[in-house]
Amino acid sequence: MLIPTEESRTLEDTAEIFLEDLVQRSLVQVSWRSHVGSIRSCRIHDLLREVAIQKAKEDNFVTICSKPPDNWMSVAKARRVAVHYSGCDELMKHANPNLRSLLCFERPLPNCSQQRLLKVLGDMQNYPSANPINFEYFDGLTHLRYCKLAGGGLINTTSFESFISGLKFVETLDFSAVHDVGELPEYIWNVKTLRHVKLPRYTSSGPSSSADLRTLQTLSGVKSRESWNAQLPKLPNLCNLVINVESSFSWDLFAKLLDTLKHLTSLELDGYQVPLEIVNMQRFPFYQHLQSLILCDMSPSVENKLSLQVGMFPIHITELTLWGLQFNVDPLSVLEKLCNLRWLCLWKQENQKMSCSAGGFKQLHELEFHRLGNLEEWEIKAGAMPILKQLTLQSCDKLGVPLGLQYLSNLKELKVIDCRKLKEHADEIRDICKHVPYILID
């Protein structure tokens, strides 16, 4: 194992400490950090990369194939292989029977059923292909720790269940880019090592009430289920949850589920007629820890207006998306008081006028408006959003040129997309925003 186990930290926390150490030593360059400061993606310098690849190849640590190799012996000895061309099937004919890791950046995935010691299998494409997945290709891979697949669905349900039932030690199961994967067999939820599960959005009902979920940290893409009423699943270590609460499901019951989550840092919730008690996060035990929140009302109604108050949102929230929720006040007048907020996205709000006060949104870096069809006026007072870097306005047809746009002195990127009225004033916007390096009006 590359990352040692420490009692006081999760493996993910330990790995991030190691990565930050490499950054401090200038061996790794950060290409993207989240708004809470964690590293989302990184790279290394070209020269260091060439040296690392050569050394890894010499030590049979990893081999990178961007084309059919001239010497198949390098593949036959490698314990880890990354493939960047579509000839993976031929590659597997020469692969080391002791292969531990296979990452494919081009499709299709090969038949890996003979690679019995494989621990890491990844289809690194992030979208489903037109072709369904043949799980017979992965039969017998009982040692898998990490499995990421993408495809158009299942060829055979029996082979899928056989594959899942063979996973004795899996830690990460990422099917988020598999279309129509259906329900996971009940067995998988009781695997003691399971840490991260990502499923296609809302195609699965998720774990049953009897599931053993003590090690689970990520649960994404599941729907609520009535059987949770019998015995609420305990998720003591859950950090990331993406869930859809169906209209037939009791919101009171779902609130009880949230009452069991003490370490949640990221929550995405889709529902119907989202009630005020769910929006008000202060009552839940994760209130002190939540950093990223997405709330989506799947049946937005002008009549269902919520009373918005700043205390509803966790005190450390840095990323916030509100989709379809309607409020009885200008949402910006309340949200601007969230002193740690760095990213805000509003979708389908019905307000006609909005305003940002002087001193509001002190830490905001990115702001996005999408499909605000009724918004006509937006005023930015001097001193509002002092460090805003990116502003996106999309499908806001009635919006005129925002008053005070010139006060966004640190703005680096302005995107205006499918905004009919703003497009008519493109020259005026460019004249006001001469200080902005990148402007897109489309």
- Examine residue 179 and state whether it is found in any structural domain, yes or no: yes
Q: Which of 179, 200, 221 finishes a domain?
A: 200
Q: Are residues 38 and 112 in the same domain?
A: no
Distances (CA, A) of 74 to 67, 81, 92, 96, 101: 13, 10, 12, 9, 15
Q: Are residues 35 and 74 in the same domain?
A: no
Q: Exposure pattern of 169-188 as b/e (b: 16+ CB <10 Å)?
A: ebbbbbbbbbbebbebeeeb
Which tokens hold the place of 56?
């890894």
Using alpha carbons only, give the angle 241, 282, 225 rounded to the nearest 5 degrees.
35
Q: Are residues 22 and 143 in the same domain?
A: no
Strand segments, DSSP code E, in 16-79 are: 29-33, 39-43, 63-65
- Examine residue 189 and state whether it is found in any structural domain, yes or no: yes
Q: Are residues 36 and 61 in the same domain?
A: no
Preceding omega of 108 cis (within 30 degrees of 0): yes
Q: Are residues 26 and 63 in the same domain?
A: no
Which tokens hold the place of 415?
């995107």
Q: Are residues 30 and 99 in the same domain?
A: no
Q: Are residues 336 and 367 in the same domain?
A: yes
CATH of the domain at 125: 3.80.10
pLDDT in tens, the chain (442 residues): 567 777 777 888 888 888 888 888 888 888 888 777 788 888 888 888 888 888 888 887 888 887 777 666 767 778 888 888 877 777 777 777 788 999 988 877 888 888 889 999 998 887 777 778 888 888 889 999 999 988 877 777 888 888 888 999 999 999 988 887 777 888 888 898 999 999 887 767 778 777 778 899 999 988 876 666 555 567 888 999 998 887 666 777 788 888 888 999 999 998 888 888 888 898 899 998 999 999 998 776 666 688 888 888 998 999 999 999 888 899 999 999 999 999 999 999 888 999 999 999 999 999 999 999 999 999 999 999 999 999 999 999 999 999 999 999 999 999 999 999 999 999 999 999 999 999 999 9
Tell me how far apart the alpha carbons of residues 270 and 343 are, in angstroms, rounded to a whole number: 19
- Examine residue 238 and state whether it is found in any structural domain, yes or no: no
Q: Are residues 77 and 18 in the same domain?
A: no
- Examine residue 251 and state whether it is found in any structural domain, yes or no: no
Q: Are residues 107 and 188 in the same domain?
A: yes
Distance of CA 126 to the CA centre of its chain: 12
Tell me how far apart the alpha carbons of residues 67 and 354 are, in angstroms, rounded to a whole number: 55
Using alpha carbons only, give the angle 111, 55, 22 rounded to the nearest 5 degrees.
100
- Examine residue 290 and state whether it is found in any structural domain, yes or no: no
Place of tokens 């009897």: 210
Q: What is the DSSP letter of 133?
A: B
- Examine residue 133 and state whether it is found in any structural domain, yes or no: yes
268 strand-pairing partners: 242, 294
Q: Are residues 17 and 84 in the same domain?
A: no
Q: Find the domain containing 38 and state its range.
A: 12-44
- Examine residue 338 and state whether it is found in any structural domain, yes or no: yes
Rg of the Cα trace of the chain?
A: 25
Q: Are residues 36 and 141 in the same domain?
A: no
316 torsion bin: left (phi>0), alpha (psi -120 to 50), beta (else): alpha
Query: Is-contact 122 148, C-beta < 8 A?
Result: yes
What global pTM score does this model have?
0.87
Q: Are residues 156 and 120 in the same domain?
A: yes
Helix, strand, coil percentages (3-state) for the chain, rounded to 5, are: 25, 25, 50
Tell me how far apart the alpha carbons of residues 389 and 413 are, in angstroms, rounded to a whole number: 6
Kind plus residue range of the DSSP H or E element containing 276 = helix 276-279
Please give the tally of structural domains in the chain. 3
